[in-house]
Amino acid sequence: MKKLAFFDTKPYDKEWFDKYNKDYEITYFESKLTARSVKLAEGFDAVCAFVNDQINEYVIDKLCEYGIGIIAMRCAGYNNIDMKYAKDKIKVVRVPAYSPYAVAEHAMAMLQTLNRHLHKAYNRTRDFNFSIVGLTGTDLHGKTAGVIGTGKIGRVFIDICRGFGINVLAYDPYPIPDSDINYTDLDTLLRESDIISLHCPLTDETYYTLDKRAFRLMTKKPYIINTSRGGLIDSSALLDALNSETIRGAVLDVYEEETELFYEDNSDKIIHDDVLSLLVSRPNVIITSHQAFLTEEALAAISETTLGNLNEYFSKKENGDNEKLTNEV
């Protein structure tokens, strides 16, 4: 059996990969794949990594030195890999679409929680406080949602919005031809939206899509939703927008400096990220720890697709087939 080094393991990873694995001897490491931990991969045939692993030039060189020819990402994103350096050195595969419904539904759930103050109401009634003072929300029906990015997740979120009777504007540098999506330019979307939701990958072009200039264009005090990648938003600019009441509130499942924090229990530690600490303290901000993908259906799809990617790679390698893999980056 081929040997797979599995990094940044959580209990749900092991549960679902063990359920679908038939062909690999998997060693689960709790540590992230970094320059410090890459030595753990020696003696393996492949590695499986996740969103907050740090796969730089050094890590790639070491994996190649160990004879490892593939990095199997169990996620859609790969911005944490130096892809320019990896080119022609090591294969990188991913899970491009595990469950767009999981992420889009989480985005709407977070929006509704903040808008209707469900988190506050829950805490009150646990103390038998049944006052509803301060829990006033707004109707979403008739509002305008600006959706940035119309890939699979963005389109599912658009469908959910339409179910609420929300009008939708969308921006994407690569609009879907002949669709029923109402595309506009980004500045118009920022000016006219009551809700702004990000559903795009993190690239050089999308880095800080919402920066100080973008927040200045927001005239309708929108809710901000980010379930994609933290680097899409300048966190300091977001904090300024909250302080100046330029926006109504924000719900974030990701954060630009999340690597050393998210997926870990830091409840007994002092957090030295002042921006994150201030965001957490705001009454009109809800942050979840990159859990939007976390449904049974998504975990099953991630496991099956990742193992399928590995099967395809080793099958082609044995047959001397150098064609691009189905889910190769």
Q: Please name which of 83, 32, 31, 90 lies closest in space to residue 62, comparing C-alpha atoms.
A: 90
Q: Which two tokens stand for residue 155?
A: 């389109």
Residue 167 binned pLDDT confidence (cut-offs 50, 70, 90):
very high
Write out the two tokens for 136. Answer: 């006033």
Q: In the structure, what pLDDT confidence band is assigned to residue 97 with cuts at 50, 70 and 90?
A: confident
Q: Which pTM was predicted? A: 0.92
106 is catalytic: no
The overall average pLDDT reported for the chain is 97
Q: Tens digits of per-residue pLDDT, 275-309? A: 999 999 999 999 999 999 999 999 999 999 999 99
Confidence check: pLDDT of 31 > 90? yes
Tokens of 94: 């991913």
- Active-site residue 323, yes or no? no
Reported as a pLDDT band with limits 50, 70 and 90, residue 216 is: very high
CB 198 within 8 A of CB 149: yes
Q: What is the pLDDT of residue 1?
A: 94
Which of the residues 74, 229, 248, 256 is marked catalytic? 229
Centroid of chain to Cα 39: 27
The active-site residue out of 74, 106, 199, 290 is: 290
The torsion of the CA quartet 237, 242, 247, 251, rounded to 10 degrees, works out to 90
Q: Identify whether 296 is a catalytic site residue.
A: no
The pLDDT tens digits for 233-271 are 999 999 999 999 999 999 999 999 998 899 999 999 999
- Following DSSP, what letter does each residue of 261-317 receive, concatenated? TTTS--TTS----HHHHHHHH-TTEEE--S-TT-SHHHHHHHHHHHHHHHHHHHHHH
- Res. 46 pLDDT band, cuts 50 70 90: very high
Domains of the chain with bracketed CATH: 2-98+296-318 (3.40.50.720), 100-287 (3.40.50.720)
Q: How far is CA 195 from CA 36, 146, 173, 198, 237, in A?
A: 41, 6, 20, 10, 17
